[in-house]
Amino acid sequence: MTSTPRRAPSPDAAVDLFGDPVAAAAARHLALAPAASMQELAEAAGVSRATLFRRFPSRTALVAELCGAAAEAYVRAVEGAAPGSGNPREALARVVAALGRLAAVAGLLGLQPLQEHVEAALLARTAQTEDSLRRLARRGQESGDFRVEVDPEWFVSMLTWLLVGAADSVRLGRLTAAAAQRHVAATIEVSLTRVSRCS
């Protein structure tokens, strides 16, 4: 059985997200090989292992910085989608589209092991953003657009892990980034929104 070639996230997307070209290259490689060593990451970035260690004193420090950048991007993406504005269905579509664009670049960083204090800081940084997503779910339920049996907490968890799954599908070459984004949007829509029934 022939394996499908892996697809790397767009280099420009990673540079935009992580800023530092070395960090961006490391993030791109981690999206393809989550267990990559510092030697492998240095080779992917086109620098020596010593150079990479001067930039990041350990793999733990590298992952923490990349996850911090991804968390900031998550916050900006949701804020830019304005989940509190307009029709709840349209707001949901904006949020899912904005986060879907991040998935192939940053989605698998959420699976990297983090020190407890680093994880706590990231959760604190994204807490208000997650609250805005819960409020969107409740707003849609109150308006009759969203299903009341879907807990807003489950909506946030479902969206998070669908994005991780989308990133992994892209990593394994099973879906293109565009197809993965479409499937995430369709799954969220079917799961959360109510079907209009004609009387």
Q: Is residue 30 part of a domain?
A: yes
Q: Is residue 54 part of a domain?
A: yes
Instruction: Supply the pTM of this predicted model.
Output: 0.86
CATH number at residue 50: 1.10.357.10
Q: Is residue 84 part of a domain?
A: yes
Q: Which helix or strand (DSSP H or E) is residue 152 part of? A: helix 152-171
Q: Is residue 25 part of a domain?
A: yes
Quick one: pLDDT at residue 110?
Answer: 82
Per residue in 26-83, pLDDT (tens digit) is 998 998 899 999 999 999 999 999 999 999 999 999 999 999 999 999 999 999 999 9
Q: Is residue 119 part of a domain?
A: yes
**In the predicted model, is pLDDT for residue 180 greater than 50?**
yes
**Residue 39, domain extent:** 11-192
80: how many CB neighbours lie within 10 A of its CB?
A: 11
DSSP strands (E only) in the chain: none
Q: Is residue 61 part of a domain?
A: yes
Number of domains in the chain: 1
Quick one: pLDDT at residue 103?
Answer: 85
Range in 3-17, 83-97, 107-121, 181-195 the model is least confident about:
3-17
Q: Is residue 6 part of a domain?
A: no
Q: Is residue 2 part of a domain?
A: no
157's CB contacts (< 8 A; 6+ apart) are none
Residues 170/176/178/184 CA torsion (nearest 10 deg): -50
